[in-house]
Amino acid sequence: MVEKADERGISKIRIFDEFREGLEGLDTFSHVIILYRFHLRATEERRIKGLKVIPMGRAGNPKVGVFASRSPSRPNYIGLCVVELAKLEGNILSVKGLDAFEGSQIVDIKPYLPRIDAFPEAAVPQWARHP
């Protein structure tokens, strides 16, 4: 479960005690991939009304299929974020750069492996190059 970030941008992720053993060795990585549930979108009122979205909600961006975007309004409500692992204490991860809201449920954690997870030469459309 995600806790609110502090003033330094550090969020805490509490992992159920029964999964604590699975965290062993994770602190040898500088970055990890967090998969989480968009719990605030998983309601009937917030349910996706179609499969097309305007990325980042920015006027001028083209309407694209939801799978060609990072929109939180998705059929599966699964989010993904690469974060810096600041500290691991017991079953609590302190991470920097998490874009999940407080109360988000963690689905999975994976180590970030640059040789597998990074593709600097990857092509993206012009609208996705904006900061």
pLDDT digits over 46-63, tens only?
566 678 888 877 888 899
Of 74, 109, 112, 98, the closest CA to residue 2 belongs to: 98
Phi, psi for 28 (deg, rounded to 5): -90, -5
pLDDT exceeding 90 applies to what percent of the chain? 53
What's the half-sphere exposure (Cβ side, CA atoms, 13 Å) at 91? 12
CB 70 within 8 Å of CB 78: no
pLDDT at 43: 60
pLDDT at 9: 85
pTM of this structure: 0.83
CB 80 within 8 Å of CB 66: no
Domain ranges in the chain? 1-39+84-105, 48-76
pLDDT digits over 23-48, tens only?
999 999 999 999 998 866 656 655 66
- What's the Cα-to-Cα distance from 80 to each of 7, 51, 59, 97, 112, rounded to whole Å? 23, 19, 24, 12, 12
